[in-house]
């Protein structure tokens, strides 16, 4: 056998062994590729499902996005409308501001005029205050003189009270004389003086005869403004104009009332011999 043949045999053997290794490797790896294929196919199916799900989700997102875009467009239109209104309002505000500025400008002149008027009034007020101060000083002087007159008047009143007491005594003596001459009616002229009064009233007195029953009553009204006192007896009780009533309060002599006005159930007169002023409810009588 030649060397070449041996070489070929060896090479054939080696090639056979290599080929067997390749076949064995192919056969061994054929199942692995199928499993990988199946795995890959499963992955592809899962990916397709995920892709469909993601596509659905994407479509939902697109719908939501379109809805949001529509909402934003609507808001944008609303904002544009609001902006237009605000621009109109700003324009109106600017016009009103210009008008107000013009009014302020006009008011400045008016305020200046008022300021000048107030200044004039202040000057007038100062003059009035000065005049009032002078008047106050004059009033103080007049008040001082009035106080002096009041003091003198008080002294005169004291003198008048003294004279009234004396006059009362004389009238009592005159009443006693009337009784002594038989109770005849005597007319005598005198004047009625009223304490603190500025006038004198001539009154004709009517003396009460001893044969006439004494008249009694009460003071029913006192009008110190007009110096008149009303008693509760009148012509129905025998009261006549000029009759004298003595006013007493308990045992205290108050004053005399000379009747000047007579009604059927009441009469009124002026005060004389005033020791104190009468009050409603005081007793009156034609005899002490």
Q: Does residue 144 sit within a domain?
A: no
Q: Does residue 113 sit within a domain?
A: no
Domain containing 221 — which CATH number? 2.40.10
The boundaries of the domain holding residue 185 are 181-285
Radius of gyration of the chain (CA): 69
Q: Does residue 273 sit within a domain?
A: yes
Predicted structure pTM score: 0.32
Q: Residue 113: CA atoms inside 13 Å, Cβ hemisphere, count?
A: 5
| CA–CA distance, 206 with 189 (Å, rounded to integer) | 10
The 3-state DSSP class for residue 243 equals: strand
Q: Are 203 and 260 in contact (CB under 8 A)?
A: yes
Q: Does residue 42 sit within a domain?
A: no
CA distances from 140 to 49, 129, 132, 230 (A): 119, 16, 12, 41
| CA–CA distance, 116 with 114 (Å, rounded to integer) | 5
| CA–CA distance, 78 with 65 (Å, rounded to integer) | 19
The continuous run of DSSP H or E covering 135 comes out as: helix 3-180
Spell out where the chain has E strands: 189-192, 201-204, 216-223, 228-231, 244-249, 252-262, 267-272, 283-285
Token pair listed for 56: 């659905």
Instruction: For the chain of 288 residues, list the mean pLDDT of each consecutive stretch of 10.
Output: 75 82 70 72 86 87 89 90 90 87 80 83 83 80 77 68 66 65 42 37 42 80 87 93 93 93 94 90 89
Picking from 261, 252, 191, 193, the residue whose alpha carbon sits closest to that of residue 221 is 261
pLDDT confidence of residue 252: 92
Picking from 250, 180, 261, 251, the residue whose alpha carbon sits closest to that of residue 226 is 261
Q: Does residue 245 sit within a domain?
A: yes
Q: Does residue 106 sit within a domain?
A: no
Give per-residue pLDDT as tens, 185-196. 433 333 333 344
| CA–CA distance, 203 with 268 (Å, rounded to integer) | 13
| CA–CA distance, 66 with 54 (Å, rounded to integer) | 18
Q: Does residue 274 sit within a domain?
A: yes
Q: Does residue 223 sit within a domain?
A: yes
The 3-state DSSP class for residue 236 equals: helix
pLDDT confidence of residue 280: 94
| Number of structural domains in the chain | 1
Give per-residue pLDDT as tens, 82-97. 898 998 998 888 888 8
Task: Report the Cα–Cα distance between both ends of the chain, in Å, rounded.
Answer: 207
């Amino acid at each position: 056998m030649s060397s070449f043949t041996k070489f070929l045999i060896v090479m054939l053997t080696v090639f056979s062994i290599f080929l067997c290794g390749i076949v064995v490797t192919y056969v061994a790896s054929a199942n692995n590729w199928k499993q990988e294929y199946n795995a890959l196919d499963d992955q592809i199916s899962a990916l397709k499902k995920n892709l469909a799900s993601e596509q659905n989700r994407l479509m939902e997102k697109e719908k939501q996005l379109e809805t949001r875009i529509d909402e934003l467009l609507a808001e944008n239109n609303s904002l544009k409308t609001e902006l237009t209104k605000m621009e109109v309002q700003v324009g109106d505000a600017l016009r009103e501001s210009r008008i107000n500025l013009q009014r302020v400008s006009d008011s400045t002149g008016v305020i200046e005029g008022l300021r000048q008027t107030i200044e004039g009034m202040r000057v007038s007020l100062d003059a009035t205050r000065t005049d009032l101060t002078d008047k106050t000083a004059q009033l103080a002087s007049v008040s001082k003189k009035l106080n002096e007159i009041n003091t003198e008047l008080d002294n005169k009143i004291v003198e008048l009270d003294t004279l009234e007491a004396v006059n009362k005594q004389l009238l009592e003596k005159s009443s006693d004389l009337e009784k002594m001459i038989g109770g005849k009616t005597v007319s005598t002229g005198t004047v009625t003086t009223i304490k603190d009064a500025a006038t004198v009233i001539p009154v004709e007195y009517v003396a009460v005869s001893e044969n006439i029953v004494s008249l009694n009553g009460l003071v029913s009204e006192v009008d110190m403004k007009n110096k008149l006192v009303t008693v509760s007896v009148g012509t129905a009780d025998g009261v006549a104009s000029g009759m004298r009533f003595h006013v007493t309060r308990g045992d205290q002599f108050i004053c005399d009332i000379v009747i000047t006005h007579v009604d059927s159930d009441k009469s009124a007169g002026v005060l004389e011999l005033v020791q104190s002023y009468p009050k409603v409810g005081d007793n009156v009588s034609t005899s002490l």
